[in-house]
Amino acid sequence: MTDLARRLGTFDATAIGLGSMLGAGVFAVFAPAAASAGAWLPLAILVAGFVAYCNAAASAQLAAAYPSSGGTYVYGRERLGPWWGFTAGWGFVVGKTASCAAMALTFASYVAPGYAKPVAVAAVVVLVAVNLRGITRTALVTRILLAVVLCLLLLIIILSWVDRPVTVDSSRMVVGPLDVLQAAGFLFFAFAGYARIATLGEEVREPRRTIPRAIVGALACTLVIYLAVGLTLLHTLGPQRLSRSKAPLADALDPQWTVLVTIGAAAASLGALLALITGVGRTTLAMAREQDLPHWLAAVHPRFAVPHRAELAVGAAVSVLVLATDLRAVIGFSSFGVLVYYAVTNLSAATQTGTDRRWPRPLNIVGLAGCLLLAATLPLTSVLVGLAVFAVGLTGRAIKVRVGPAD
């Protein structure tokens, strides 16, 4: 079996994580979050960021000890057992495949709103082709898109403060602690990209040093940017208008500047989609190696050192979802799946001892509690759909184990 090649340094790994977190979520997640948290949106960002930090610490600690593709699917198997690993891997693959479709549709809705579905499928095909050429090509394209997004976000923030009249919002929203937690659950969708660094563990140079630095660095940069964007939107639009906006960053600008948002959203969506396809492909590879998914997906291309069959399968699944599904509610579902994934991450990290332990164990316990709490406070529909999807996956594995052991 061909192994993946270790070609990524700290800068590339950080860029992939940051590109994942500064994806289309920054252009879409603030409106539903503001509908729950109102003027307390910055607090919700901090809550989501703190839970994400706990998860990032656990991910970094585990990835340093187990530097192979698959992320928490691998960690759960190694620390807790195959069923825990499968639960994490299934939640990641299903939830993030849906998120890939959402990113593709977000890109297409900005650049070609009248032809969103075919353009979205075309974007998926192109980015899968980029991934199939090797991880260094993926990192290069991610760096370019990330640079575009960072520059445009900075420009949008500056223009929103200096070139846009502030909306006086005299209305009051009644917001309680559960509303803030629900908003934090939505916002967690936008923070979850650092998992991509861990899932690329088999392709990172000096993983014990590189992965922790990349994860924590990407998360810290993202938190600062999200706080800046959230405060800008509240200042310019006010809580009520922000909660109703379909394109908050565009509404925060004078109409003459909205082309910047179009370019930024397109670049961010492509960057997130590229990183998502990469991460889902690696987790699919890891699950296929253990025969929790069809074993033929475990192949690694002998020349480009990428899981080409897994990448193609992910691209096909995303394309089907794009053509067949309306994914407006995908943020809640994706958040539920990823929060379960990170609950397993924290539980796995809590079992580590000795030289493998880099952060205090109580941080893992807080992270576990935070994941479960945020998952429980998501909208009921998201929770029920998420539970149903996990039930399907676990039932399927139980049947397979009964017919012929997966391990």
Rounded to whole angstroms, how far apart are CA atoms 27 and 175? 23
At 135 the pLDDT is: 58
- Residues 296-318: what's their mean pLDDT? 85
Domain borders along the chain are 10-403
Query: What is the structure's pLDDT at 196?
Result: 64
Using CA atoms, how far residue 308 sits from 134, 261, 281, 313, in Å, is: 10, 33, 8, 9
Average pLDDT over residues 121-138: 79
Query: At which residue do the structure tokens 């639960």 appear?
Result: 87
pLDDT score of 9 more than 80: no
For 73, 92, 109, 189, the CA distances from 342, given in Å and listed in that order, are 10, 9, 30, 12
**In the predicted structure, residue 407 carries a pLDDT above the cut 50:** no
Q: Which of 172-176, 262-266, 323-327, 381-385 has the highest mean pLDDT?
A: 381-385
Q: Is a pLDDT exceeding 60 seen at residue 399?
A: yes
Classify the phi-psi angles of 305: left when phi > 0, otherwise alpha if psi is within -120 to 50, otherwise beta.
left
Q: Is residue 195 scored above 70 in pLDDT?
A: no
Predicted pLDDT of residue 134? 64
Q: For 32-65, write each residue's pLDDT tens digit.
A: 888 888 889 999 999 999 998 898 889 888 887 8
Alpha helices in 192-257 (DSSP H): 195-199, 207-244, 248-251
Q: Answer whether residue 143 shows pLDDT above 80.
A: no
Question: What pLDDT is recorded for position 43?
Answer: 94
pLDDT value of residue 150:
84
Predicted confidence at residue 363, as pLDDT, reads: 94
Q: Where are the alpha helices (DSSP H) in 257-305?
A: 258-289
Per-residue tokens: 314: 């992910």
Q: Which of 263, 334, 317 is nearest to 124 (CA)?
A: 317
Q: Is the pLDDT of residue 328 over 60?
A: no
Fold of 10-403: Amino acid/polyamine transporter I (1.20.1740)
Mean pLDDT of the chain: 82
Measured distance CA(405)–CA(88) in Å, rounded: 19
Taking residues 174-182, what's their average pLDDT? 85
Instruction: Calculate mean pLDDT across residues 154-173.
Output: 70
pLDDT higher than threshold 80 for residue 199: no
Q: How many CB atoms lie within 10 A of CB 296?
A: 10
pLDDT at 247: 74
pLDDT of 389 higher than 50: yes
Distance CA 120, CA 127 (A): 11
Q: Give the separation between CA 362 and CA 352, rounded to whole angstroms.
A: 12
Amino acid at 386: G
